[in-house]
Amino acid sequence: MSKQIFVLNGPNLNLLGTREPEIYGVLKLEDIAIRLKEIAKDLGIKVDFRQSNHEGELVDWVHEAGEKKASIILNAGAYTHTSVALMDALMAVECDCIEVHLSNIFKREDFRHHSYVSKASIGIISGLGAKGYELALLALNDSIT
């Protein structure tokens, strides 16, 4: 398997740091990207860290991960709960995917309890803040080395 991991972030995650910090924490997305790249470097993995507010762009990136035989860490933001298109894209490619959420979606509003992304993921890490991304990276590293 490939040692490339796409870390894909959905809508509004570009606002991390100032967006509802009591829920999402004070780290910026860029801080999370830097930390992940440091860990990835030590592990000899290439991390491609991206964010988009557009569903179709996220779908295109899942396809690209499929073409490159990369694994995926996905925080789809609100698209987690709405996007059949993203689920279908994940189902269509042969990529290991781990779903990550900064907040514990199961402790929050009912509409956040359902995830289309989960149906196409190996597992889900929710509620551990930025640490969730790191744990997902370690888990994918274990399955790809």
Contact set with ligand DQA (CB under 6 A): 12, 75, 77-78, 80, 101-103, 105, 112
Residues known to be catalytic:
24, 101
User: Taking a C-beta distance cutoff of 8 angstroms, is the pair 7, 141 a contact?
Assistant: no
User: Taking a C-beta distance cutoff of 8 angstroms, is the pair 100, 129 a contact?
Assistant: no
For ligand DQA, the closer of residues 80 and 83 by Cβ is 80
For ligand DQA, the closer of residues 41 and 123 by Cβ is 123
For ligand DQA, the closer of residues 105 and 140 by Cβ is 105
Q: How far is the CB of 84 from ligand DQA (least distance, A)?
A: 16
From the list 75, 50, 55, the residue with the least C-alpha distance to 126 is 75
2: left (phi over 0), alpha (psi -120 to 50) or beta: beta
Q: Which residue has the tokens 């779908």?
A: 59
